[in-house]
Amino acid sequence: MSLHDEILEQPDIINKLLVSQEENIYQLARTIGVPRGIFIAARGTSDNAARYAKYVWGSFNNIPVSLAAPSLFSIYHKPPDLVDLLVIGISQSGESPDLLAVVEEASRQGCPTLAITNQAESPLANQSDFVIDIQAGPELSIAATKSYTAQLGTIAMLSAAWNDQGSQWNEIKQVPEFMDKALKTELMIKNFSSRYRYMEQCIVLGRGYNYATAFEWSLKLKELAYVVAQPYSSADFLHGPIALVSDGFPVFAIAPSGMVYKDMIRLITRLQQDHRADLFLISDSQEILDLADCPIPLPKRIPEWLTPMIGIIPAQLLSYHLTLAKRIDPDTPRGLSKVTLTT
């Protein structure tokens, strides 16, 4: 199965996740209860899923979420006090030794532990008290796509289960349909990709729930198309990095309707009018798409908190088609393997 196949598979994967894991996630949420705080260990794409969790569990469940510094556990052997926290390891493979070190220490301190993984028999899963199998199926391409959106889906489902909110569940169940619509932008994205075939560096912007999307999009541009893509919150971007942008500098941004929209359109307008940036924009708002050199429409009426699951699909497709435009094999990026064993 190719990277392109795995991108197209994502609506079916989320459907499968909803059908197969709803009862398990509800039971897990009842057993654990709403934790006082959550401590997440993750790397790479899974770390970007953890960024999404900070916003979802913080906003919907009032849970403070922090991301681990795994080297404190595996290299410095100076772990922080984790008492009363739920410790979660998020990993596609469940094999990274430094993530395992975090979960092992959490168990030593008497904390409940949860693995969110695509490998239910992995070392991480076996070490954890609870396991959610994201059931993305074999992900053969090195660049993670369907496992990422399945991780996001799991995080959203856990939030709904902790709240015992039918309204949240109903919104999540619309995600596969929204994904199908997002996939229909592929031809447009393919045509735009040749515009950037000589690009060596760019900026990627997102805020709020889509802070995670900015990081994941930039990672895909780096590992597939070998572009030096720097991700920023639109707020952080104003504190210095905006000086990087001059005439024709490529800026990629996701700016759906919602609480951060006004902030995003102010910045995008400034980048267009004052800096004359080359803008590739993903949004459901025609107002902001009108500012773009390359506008990619999102489906209408996606709840803001779920837009990262849909908005990342055009970003994945752009990264894929840009890789082809640069005559790079998207299934064998240089210097990478599917499982990265960091210690």
What is the structure's pLDDT at 86? 98
What is the structure's pLDDT at 141? 85
User: Distance between CA atoms of 298 and 307, rounded to whole angstroms?
Assistant: 9
What is the structure's pLDDT at 335? 61
Q: Buried b vs exposed e over 139-173: b needs ≥16 C-beta within 10 Å?
A: bebbbbbbbbbbbbbbbbbbbbbbbeeeebbebbe
User: Distance between CA atoms of 78 and 317, rounded to whole angstroms?
Assistant: 41
CATH code of the domain occupying 3-173: 3.40.50.10490
Return the structure tokens found at 90: 């998020």
* pLDDT, averaged in runs of 10, over the chain (343 residues): 93 96 94 97 96 98 96 93 97 91 96 95 95 91 93 98 91 98 98 96 97 98 96 89 91 97 95 95 97 97 98 98 94 65 56
What is the structure's pLDDT at 166? 85
pLDDT tens by residue, 36-85:
999 999 999 999 999 999 999 999 999 999 999 999 998 999 999 999 99
CATH code of the domain occupying 177-325: 3.40.50.10490
Any idea what DSSP says for residue 281?
E
What is the structure's pLDDT at 336? 59
User: Distance between CA atoms of 72 and 66, rounded to whole angstroms?
Assistant: 14
Q: Report yes or no: 67 and 54 within 8 Å, Cβ to Cβ.
A: yes
Mind giving me the DSSP string for 167-232? HHHHHHTTHHHHHHHHHTTHHHHHHHHGGGTT--EEEEEE-GGGHHHHHHHHHHHHHHH--EEEEE
What is the structure's pLDDT at 315? 98
pLDDT tens by residue, 311-332:
999 999 999 999 999 999 988 8
What is the structure's pLDDT at 165? 77
What is the H or E stretch that residue 108 is in? helix 97-108
Any idea what DSSP says for residue 90?
E
Domain ranges within the chain, ordered by starting residue: 3-173, 177-325
What is the structure's pLDDT at 143? 87
What is the structure's pLDDT at 117? 95
| Dihedral over alpha carbons 199, 42, 131, 33 (to 10 degrees) | -120
What is the structure's pLDDT at 142? 83
Question: Does residue 184 carry a catalytic annotation?
Answer: no
- Neighbour-count burial of 33, counting CB atoms closer than 10 A to its CB (0-12 exposed, 13-18 middle, 19+ buried): exposed
